[in-house]
Chain A
Amino acid sequence: MARRQFYLSNGGLFVLLLCAAVGLLLLPRTLTQEVNFLFAETFQPLIRIGRNFQRDRFAMPGPDDAVVSRDEHNRLWKNYNNLHAQLLKLQEQVEILSQLRSGLPRFYSGLAIAEVTGAAGGLSHELLINKGTADGVRAGCYVMSIGQNSIVGVVRETSEQMACVRLLSDANQCIVIRIRRDGTDLDVGALMFGNGKRGGIVSKIERDKDIRVGDAVYAAARPGLLEVPMIIGEVSEVLPDEEPLLWKIAVQLADDAFTLQTLAVIVPETVGAGGL
């Protein structure tokens, strides 16, 4: 039997491939993200090339003998603020416990140390890490920098071996925050969105709140995900909002997550899996 020849004109091929592209576009992301993760998992060793050099490039000079370097100062400042937040939380708990004995079990969070594979690509601020659902990582988990102890992002999507972390600087990332100041009882809750650069924007803060440059910004505690508030940065600018009687606040993030090689995912322990 003669083999039938299919001939497609250039125009036909063009339209056919455009339709195929539209088909891909219409597929739900839950289906197509597996392809992205598969690519990243398969070529992980190759994609990671250059990550080590990058850290050296951004490395700051070592601390001087006489004075504490800016880097060291920042690290100590963040550690101090985290400890202070934990202290406040503990004080609250002591206060409650002194009034009544609670028999509720304490939630426990573990840490999964993950290597950064690379950026997720595109215009978004996202990183791929080499820990996934197999290690207990799931969407919504907070991600912190190792050694710097600050929250840098939130897990967005996961596969079995990998996860995509959306950084706090991404314009689509929203996080509940607390703004606090040492030595005062200032504690303002708000929502922060990434500004698309290396920081965040907090809007809709009433002007009667006394927010100043340098106030510490914490990720607010979320039961099961983050037990105590954790530092994410500091207020870098306080401006009048477009709407009257409101502040618009710029936040400088504590860490530049693009340069980090290792991150820690705060993994909530599931009920019945040996939590404390």
Chain B
Amino acid sequence: MRWIPFTLLILVGALLEAGNLLNLIAVGEWHIRPAVLIVALVFFAMHCRAHEAIIASFIIGLAMDIAGHQMGPHTFSYCFIGGLLNQLSDYFPARRIFHQAILILVVYPIAELIAYWLGVLKTGEQQEYVYRVVLFTALYSACIGPIFWTAVRRVNRLIAYKRPRTERGYFR
């Protein structure tokens, strides 16, 4: 994997997460926005080799924390979920849009709730309606996610080294 283009991609994702552009498509009273970096997490966890997937997940989690308001919770949860997802990637197809949406729908709440509870342990601050907000964000992200997935896949052609001799495509 080429790490500099990857880092730039994640930086763009972090800026989207921290910025206002996604507010333009935010919906509802809870201001639900799609999660961008979770798409990158699922994509790289599914497509990279184990070594790269673990490092990539760590970096994505770190980016999420830097773009947020406290360090650690997302780094841990994304690294954990990314590593786990990579090991299970053979069992989950992600070629079709429907499968990608389902993966995002399942992975986002798990990762986000782990991060949330770690944050609560760290600061002692709980939020109202967390489960509903996370559920709606997961649904929204699952709907929008395949669009980001396609974008990440195209950018990934610049990121990944080609390995024509391997049977499993570019990444493994």
Contact = CB atoms under 8 A, between A and B. Distances in A.
Contacts of A27: 71-72
A48 B20 contact: yes
Interface stretch (B54-62, B96-104, B141-149, B159-167): B54-62
A126 interface: yes
Given A29-B122, A54-B23, A10 B51 contact: yes
Interface stretch (A193-201, A212-220, A228-236): A193-201
Contact of A48 (B19, B54, B128, B133): B19
B67 interface: yes
A176 interface: no
Interface in A14-54: 14, 17-18, 20-22, 24-27, 29, 32-33, 35-36, 39-40, 43, 46-51, 53-54
B119 A122 contact: yes
Give the bracket for the number of chain A residues in contact with chain B. 35 or more
A113 interface: no
B130 interface: yes
B76 A122 contact: no
Contact of A123 (B51, B55, B67, B127): B127
Given A29-B122, A39-B18, A10 B23 contact: no
A172 interface: yes
A13 interface: yes
Given A13-B54, A54-B20, A198 B126 contact: no
Among A50, A53, A119, A120, the one with the most B-chain Cβ atoms within 10 Å of its Cβ is A119
A121 B126 contact: no
B126 A172 contact: yes
Give the bracket for the number of chain B residues in contact with chain A. 35 or more
Given A10-B50, A122-B69, A21 B58 contact: yes
B27 to A, nearest CB: 12
B114 to A, nearest CB: 11
A13 B51 contact: yes
A47 B54 contact: no
B53 to A, nearest CB: 9
Contacts of B31: 258
Contacts of A198: 29
A210 to B, nearest CB: 28
A50 B128 contact: no
B133 A123 contact: yes
A164 B130 CA distance: 21
A32 B19 contact: no
B72 A26 contact: yes
A196 B131 CA distance: 12
Nearest to B20: A50
Given A27-B71, A124-B127, A195-B128, A20 B58 contact: yes
B19 A50 contact: yes
A43 B17 CA distance: 12
What are the nearest 6 A-B pairs in CB distance? A196-B128, A25-B72, A121-B68, A50-B20, A21-B76, A32-B71
Interface of B: 14-15, 17-24, 29-31, 50-51, 54-55, 58, 61-62, 65-73, 75-76, 79-80, 83, 116, 118-119, 122-123, 125-130, 133-134
29 contacts: A14-B54, A14-B79, A17-B54, A18-B80, A20-B75, A21-B72, A21-B75, A21-B79, A22-B72, A22-B76, A24-B75, A27-B71, A29-B70, A32-B72, A36-B69, A39-B18, A47-B15, A47-B18, A48-B20, A49-B19, A53-B24, A54-B23, A119-B18, A123-B133, A124-B125, A126-B69, A197-B29, A198-B29, A258-B23
